[in-house]
Structure 1
Amino acid sequence: MSAEKREIDWENLGYGYIKTDYRYISYWKDGAWDEGTLTEDNQLHISEGSTALHYGQSCFEGMKAYRTKDGRINLFRPDQNAKRMQKSCERIMMPAFPEEQFLEAIQAVVKANESWVPPYGSGSTLYLRPFVIGVGDNLGIKPATEYIFSVFAVPVGLYFKGGLTPSNFIISDYDRAAPQGTGAAKVGGNYAASILPGQDARKRNFSDAIYLDPATHTKIEEVGSANFFGVTKDGTFVTPYSPSILPSITKYSLLYLAEHYLGMKAEERDVYVDNLDEFSEAGACGTAAVISPIGGIQTKDGFHAFHSETEVGPVTQKLYDLLTGIQFGDVEGPEGWIRKVEI
């Protein structure tokens, strides 16, 4: 069954869970991962003593599969997701899942759910969620005795409702992660910490909360579950640097595209919340968000507007067109960025 034949309004998909046909699962026992398999069962059966339930021993990745104009399917830099997941596993003492097996698992899940990959031009994609959790009969704060690696797939639309329409954000008083903590790892606890401030922001009619550095509360780190970027008035593309920021694959892709495709100066450096005047444009970026323009930011001192609260800025638009063009196969990207799924 093709994507077009499924009774789904692809152009108006939300961002929520939909049960698809197959997912991949592999078990780690006695010091090794098994070969893994596809299953139709979307329920995990785990011990009540699983460390994922009690001590937060879990990590995940987010990535997408893209339908191209000729009907084929692209994956965007999946090797980088595999490497980042290995680092997340190492940070919380879980066995790293092998890169090649990771890539094979992703390919298998996309192929098995090919009819769920939204059609080209719909604006929707197939979101892939690989994760590792500690399981088994455990008690006490120590590494688990067993682990599960799994990947499931869900067709999704836009993460932020406005899409490429600018939206407003508010600086949070809460910290997303601690100095020298797990901020640079994609672990569940970081996201649990963001639920309350994110909900508070939306109650005040903002798209999400912006987190400052946990040590000094003077520098922008992350925008909800996405990374921040700004374009200075002299045309420099800037993203924050911090050891407690998740190393976003989208962010580093945009840094490269800004410099090598648009000929801009590109910097990863401190972004002080008291110096927002240096930016003519700003946005949030990530696998889920793609690129979401920021119309303005509410700080303690007032509301700071960027290019426009209603129209996307010219550099942000160019970067969006470049990035999505590469992902959907309309623009030739750097070597190795696209991996085809052989159906």
Structure 2
Amino acid sequence: MFEVNWTHDKGWGRPLICPIHNLSLHPSAKVFHYAQELFEGLKAFRGVDGNIRIFRPDMNMKRMRASAERINLPDFDGNELLECLKKLIQIDADWVPPYGSGASLYIRPTYIGTEPALGVHSSKDAMLYIICGPVGPYFPTGAMKPVSLLADPRFVRAWPGGVGDKKLGVNYGPQLAVQQLAEKMGHQQVLWLFGDDHQLTEVGAMNVFVYLVNDRGERELVTPPLQSGLILPGVTRLSLIQLAQQWSEFKITERAINMQEIRQLVKEKRLLEMFGAGTACSVCPIGRIHYKNEDIIVPGLPEQESLQLRLYKTLQDIQYGIVPHDWSVII
């Protein structure tokens, strides 16, 4: 693991890469009582050429610093942390799964307030660390298998002006009971809705995309816009938008879309595909939505026409070095 400590009096200490170990923290540490904590998630891939690559890590550093600013943890140099991360992966290179295994090395930078003092104020001590571990497909069903979602408007993930657009642990704890409810009902994830009109926001820990035929007869890829405090600016989300923009075969729109429109699209047979997107799953097809005691079946396109499959394969080709791209940083 990598670790480095910060104190109000001395600033950043000496960074260290060492064997992974338990942390020793005082029971009154800020992280335990006031949720002064954030994290990031990215992956390292063993390419077809044997080289190890990480995908757009500069985006993770930018988002991590934005999260730190929001909960008032001290700023850091994202480029320096990225160099430390690269060194850690070099040392742990044997843990990066081989090409063709469908697996990768998950990387979890974490940043916590550690000052041993009660009282609602910013921590005067902090610790930034990185741990890694090999992972396979996010869902037990495997990659690119459609998932079922629970869309229950009683529960809200985030709100405008809040911190839903930051990668904070406090965003995820309140999701767990709803996620368990979804699993008990036979669903893999929660489709988070917002507002009186039940707008789509995120799928579990993923951004959401809707591929449809609009009322002008055009094919259109829709994803909810990044509103302050409501939706996480996903690295995969941005990458898929930018890839799709290069193809220019359909319209790409960032706009609000609600459950009434989804139901109407299904009724009129204008819904083509829906999928989630995130670091953990890459691209994840959506096959069913349970909403207001109704199962909405999401159709899919044949393999040769499928946009979600095309995006998934294109992203995989970049991440595994099959297609050279400046998004993939060789370690």
TM-score (norm 1): 0.88
Match of 1:175 among 150, 156, 176: 156
1:279 Cα deviation (Å)? 2.8
Q: Residue 235 of structure 1 corresponds to which residue in structure 2?
A: 219
Distance 1:210 1:312 in 2: 27
State the Cα distance separating 1:311 from its structure 2 match: 7.8
Q: Which residue of 2 aligns with 1:250?
A: 236
1:221 to 201, 204, 211: 201
Q: Which residue of 1 aligns with 2:55?
A: 76
AA aligned opposite 2:48: K
2 CA distance for matches of 1:153 and 1:312?
A: 36
5 Å matches for 1:1-343? 23-29=1-7, 30=9, 32-162=11-141, 163-172=143-152, 173-213=154-194, 215-216=195-196, 218-233=198-213, 234-241=218-225, 242-243=227-228, 244-261=230-247, 263-276=249-262, 277=265, 278-300=270-292, 302-308=294-300, 314-333=306-325, 336-341=326-331
Aligned length: 316
Report the Cα offset of residue 93 of structure 1: 0.7
Q: Is the 8 A contact 2:105 2:133 kept in 1?
A: yes
Amino acid at match of 2:222: V
Whole-angstrom CA distance in 1 between matches of 2:303 and 2:122: 49
Q: Whole-Å Cα distance in 2 between the matches of residues 309 and 176 of structure 1? A: 30
Secondary structure of the residue aligned to 2:172 is helix
Measured on the aligned residues, the alpha-carbon RMSD in Å equals: 1.8
Relative to the length of structure 2, the TM-score reads 0.91
CA separation in 2, counterparts of 1:313 and 1:202? 31
Task: Find the aligned partners of 1:309 and 1:31 in 2 and give their Cα distance.
Answer: 58
The 1:210–1:314 alpha-carbon spacing in structure 2 relative to 1, beyond 3 Å, is same
CA drift at 1:157 = 0.5
Counterpart Cα distance in 1 of 2:174 and 2:86: 32
- Structure 2 gaps of 5+ residues are none
Q: Helix, strand or coil: the match of 1:237?
A: strand
Tell me how far apart the structure 2 counterparts of residues 196 and 52 of structure 1 sit (CA, whole Å). Answer: 21
Is the Cα–Cα contact under 8 Å of residues 237 and 267 in structure 1 kept in the other structure?
yes
Q: Is the 8 A contact 2:17 2:88 kept in 1?
A: yes
Deviations 1:16-47 (A, max 9, x none): xxxxxxx1001011252223110103211122
Per-residue CA deviations over 1:213-236 (Å, capped at 9, x if unaligned) read 2x4352010101111111112322
Which one-letter code corresponds to 1:100 in the other structure?
N
Counterpart Cα distance in 2 of 1:135 and 1:311: 50
User: C-alpha separation between the residues in 2 aligned to 1:309 and 1:72?
Assistant: 34
Unaligned runs of 5+ in 1: 1-22
Tell me how far apart the structure 2 counterparts of residues 312 and 58 of structure 1 sit (CA, whole Å).
44
| Alpha-carbon spacing, 1:312–1:302, altered in 2? closer, same or farther (3 Å) | farther
* C-alpha distance after superposition, 1:182-213 (max 9, x if no partner): 10110011000111111110111101111112
Closer/same/farther in 2, CA of residues 225 and 312 from structure 1, 3 Å limit: farther
Contact 2:209 2:274 in 1 (8 A): yes
**Equivalent pair of 1:167/1:309 in contact (CA under 8 Å):** no
Does the CA-based 8 Å contact 1:166-1:308 persist in structure 2?
A: no
What is the Cα deviation at residue 262 of structure 1?
Answer: 5.7
Letter in 2 for 1:240: P
**In structure 2, what is the Cα distance between the partners aligned to 1:281 and 1:291?**
12
Partner amino acid, structure 2, of 1:79: D
Distance 2:285 2:30 in 1: 38
Contact 1:165 1:311 in 2 (8 A): no
Contact conserved, 2:197 with 2:258, CA < 8 A, in 1? no
The percent of aligned pairs where both chains have the same amino acid is 33
- Tell me the SS of whatever aligns to 1:332: coil
Matched-pair contact (CA < 8 Å) for 2:303–2:309: no
